[in-house]
Amino acid sequence: MERVESSHSRHRGTPSCCADDVKERQLYVDVMVRVAVTGALARYQRMEPQNSHNNGASESNSGGDEPPQRYFDTLARGMLHVFEAFQEVHSMRRTHYTPRRRGGSTVGTVGWDTLLLLHFVHRIPRVARDASEHVIDEATGQIVRSWRKLLLSLQTADPQESPEHSRRRGALAVCNGLLSILFHRYNTHQCRVLVNSVAQSEKIAESTGDWGKSILRPAQHMIAEVVNFCYYKGRIMLYDHRFEDAYDALRKAYYLLPPPGEGTEVQQRNKQRVRFYLTVAGVVHGKVVPEEILRTDDLIAFVFMPIFSAVQRGDPHAFANAVDAFGTLLRKRGVFFLLQRAKLYCFLVLLARTQTALGMCSGVDNSRVPLPVLTAAYAHVVDEGRKAATAQTGAAASHQKRPKRHREENDENKTSVMTDDEMTWWTAKLIGSGLVRGYISYEHKTIVLSRQTPFPTLGIATT
């Protein structure tokens, strides 16, 4: 040991650097000891039930196949105990490191232990999910407090180092670990705060040119971390009804993943998950879903094609039926009520079709759409859609694929009848949301549209 220390002493500079080197070594010894103790305790908790079953003659052998709950609790607490020591050593001042490089290798660089950080922030949330409820509650508070502190320290660490050699590249992984824990605990408020703080950091870094405070830029070469962040950001933006931001974030995550048929099985499952929420974000934002998604995913086409067809025809009644048909799946994925907002686009298309039809009539000013005419157009479109659905159901009666929710006869009639007052309300929502430019003359029962661009969003390319 003395010979090893003497051989390394020539590379050390000032006494303070030597002290930092010794402290770092001691802290890593502490980390390894905690890892060994955690592994031994968890192994003991796992083996103890098996020993008790072996001692009892009347016990069955199947009882020792599943690890006991104490095993997961011990493992979760032990991992947090290990991470406390690792966090201290990873955040310490590292002025004793020499600036030498070995090509593209991170060995000997100031951020050499970032891979250990990635392992911890990915492993701890998975371990914590199997622990008891009280352990999860205790661990969640501890993780959020300590990881937030770590995130702040990593943002300012190693400002002079390149991203691939510094510890700043681990900040995005810590952020993703926090988002994963908070998201699974349904704490969307804290997720929103975290995502907004990252966005604010990026704006400050871009405006000031100080990229040392950026979280995303140092980790651009870590594609998996960027995909995770974009996915969680897209989900949070969906819940905040910021559909354009959600669509952009999920689209970025989608195209960063390998193409269909390539990559690992986990990557393909992740791409399917991102593809589903990207489609939802596109529907509620009024975007046309790329043809590539409909070609490569039969589930997306099966679930969403009836919704797309209803929106394209301007049939709110068929839209409601299409969403209700897969209500269980959509509720399970938390998007049922989000998709209900897309019903407004059916009325937008209905109004646009009616305005176009009036424009084809000679001597008619199609900038003024009478409400009774729009209501009659609604009844015609709904009746047309119902006849098409009946014909399709009769043709596929022998092998019905999609389970449909049973509707009462009165409920069916109630949803297909629209009064002028109800149509006025829907039109007011279109005008208030900026989808239609114009106003409603309630006295004359007429919708007065702008002569230049009555439907600003329909004239924009939506792909």
Using CA atoms in the order 234, 239, 244, 248, what is the torsion angle rounded to 10 degrees?
0
**Distance separating alpha carbons of residues 86 and 31, to the nearest angstrom:** 6
Instruction: Summarize the confidence of residues 138-148 as an average pLDDT.
Output: 83
Instruction: Summarize the confidence of residues 119-131 as an average pLDDT.
Output: 86
Q: Is the pLDDT of residue 228 over 90?
A: yes
More confident residue, 185 or 334: 334
pLDDT digits (tens, 9 = 90+) for 147-164: 888 888 887 777 777 777
Q: Is the pLDDT of residue 348 over 50?
A: yes
The structural domains of the chain, with segments of one domain joined by +, span 12-50+66-94+114-221, 303-389+415-449
More confident residue, 193 or 165: 193
Instruction: Summarize the confidence of residues 356-373 as an average pLDDT.
Output: 90
Neighbouring-strand partners of residue 447? 369, 440
More confident residue, 56 or 97: 97
140: Cβ contacts below 8 Å, ≥ 6 apart: 128, 181, 182, 185
In this predicted structure, what is the pLDDT of residue 211?
A: 72
Neighbouring-strand partners of residue 387? none
In this predicted structure, what is the pLDDT of residue 106?
A: 58
In this predicted structure, what is the pLDDT of residue 113?
A: 81
In this predicted structure, what is the pLDDT of residue 385?
A: 86
Statement: the pTM of the whole predicted model exceeds 0.75: yes
In this predicted structure, what is the pLDDT of residue 99?
A: 59
Report helix angle 171-184 to 188-208, nearest 10: 160
In this predicted structure, what is the pLDDT of residue 85?
A: 87
In this predicted structure, what is the pLDDT of residue 7?
A: 41
pLDDT digits (tens, 9 = 90+) for 409-460: 454 554 567 899 999 999 999 999 999 999 999 888 999 999 989 999 886 4
In this predicted structure, what is the pLDDT of residue 96?
A: 61
Mean pLDDT across the chain: 82
- The proportion of the chain whose per-residue pLDDT surpasses 90, expressed as a percent, equals 36
**Distance separating alpha carbons of residues 114 and 222, to the nearest angstrom:** 12
* Per-range mean pLDDT, top range of 106-115, 125-134, 303-312: 303-312
DSSP state of 57: T
In this predicted structure, what is the pLDDT of residue 448?
A: 94
Which residue, 177, 176, 178, 167, is CA-closest to 115? Answer: 167
In this predicted structure, what is the pLDDT of residue 170?
A: 87
How far is the CA of 276 from the CAs of 186, 237, 320, 333, in angstroms? Answer: 20, 15, 19, 10
What does 138-185 look like in DSSP terms, one character per residue?
Answer: HHHHHHHHHHHHHHHHHHTS-TTS-TTTSGGGGHHHHHHHHHHHHHHT
Tokens representing residue 440 in the block: 């409603």
Q: How many CB atoms lie within 10 A of CB 175?
A: 27
Q: Is the pLDDT of residue 342 over 80?
A: yes
In this predicted structure, what is the pLDDT of residue 95?
A: 65
